[in-house]
Structure 1
Amino acid sequence: MYEGSNKKRVKVEIFGDIYTIKGDTHERQMQLVAEYVDRKMQYVAQRTPSLSLKQVAVLAALNIADELFTFKNDYDKLVQILEEDNK
């Protein structure tokens, strides 16, 4: 979601704040990504209400990054299995 002249703009709400995000992807995908981030932040905040907004954002980002690394590792393992099967 980088700025540029041909980018789509979508207004989204994340953790109570409105953001205008820009990107090359479909508007619905940008909305879904924002909703996902919002859900993660809400989850972290509900589990530990004493956290600051910054702490909520960082912990949500860490949770999302952990999911990404897990999916990437699983994907890499599947690719390796498929490559071995095709030998």
Structure 2
Amino acid sequence: MENDDNKTRTTVRIQGQTYNVVSEEQAAHVKTVAKYIDDKMDELKKRNPYLDTTKLSVLTALNIADDYLKLKRDIEGE
């Protein structure tokens, strides 16, 4: 559903929780991002089954940020 600000509200599920995301991106893109995050969290949870949700979320963010910064460095040729 689109509003006057050209933003789309998309409902996604990550780790069994529902989130309503408001974004200028298309719903398909938001769902792809959410699935990527959910998959990364599943991957980490399999290796560390006793992590609580907060720690799992922080570790997932650290892993994604690490991947991003390595790719950015490679692209920029540093």
TM-score (norm 1): 0.81
Q: 1:37-76, aligned counterparts within 5 Å?
A: 37-76=37-76
Question: What is the CA-CA distance between 1:75 and the residue it aligns to?
Answer: 0.8
1:16 aligns with 2:16: yes
C-alpha distance in 1 between matches for 2:31 and 2:7: 14
User: In the alignment, residue 13 of structure 1 is paired with which amino acid?
Assistant: R
C-alpha distance in 2 between matches for 1:9 and 1:44: 28
User: In the alignment, residue 14 of structure 1 is paired with which amino acid?
Assistant: I
C-alpha distance in 2 between matches for 1:72 and 1:6: 29
Q: Size of the alignment, in residue pairs?
A: 75
Whichever structure has more helix as a proportion of its residues is: 1
The answer for unaligned runs of 5 or more in structure 1 is 81-87
What residue in structure 2 maps to residue 30 of structure 1? Answer: 30
Sequence identity of aligned pairs in percent? 35
C-alpha distance in 1 between matches for 2:60 and 2:40: 5
C-alpha distance in 2 between matches for 1:67 and 1:6: 30
The answer for unaligned runs of 5 or more in structure 2 is none
Question: What is the CA-CA distance between 1:46 and the residue it aligns to?
Answer: 1.0
1:25 match: secondary structure? coil
TM-score (norm 2): 0.89
TM superposition outliers: structure 1 runs of 4+ over 2 Å = none
Q: CA RMSD in A?
A: 1.5
User: In the alignment, residue 35 of structure 2 is paired with which amino acid?
Assistant: E
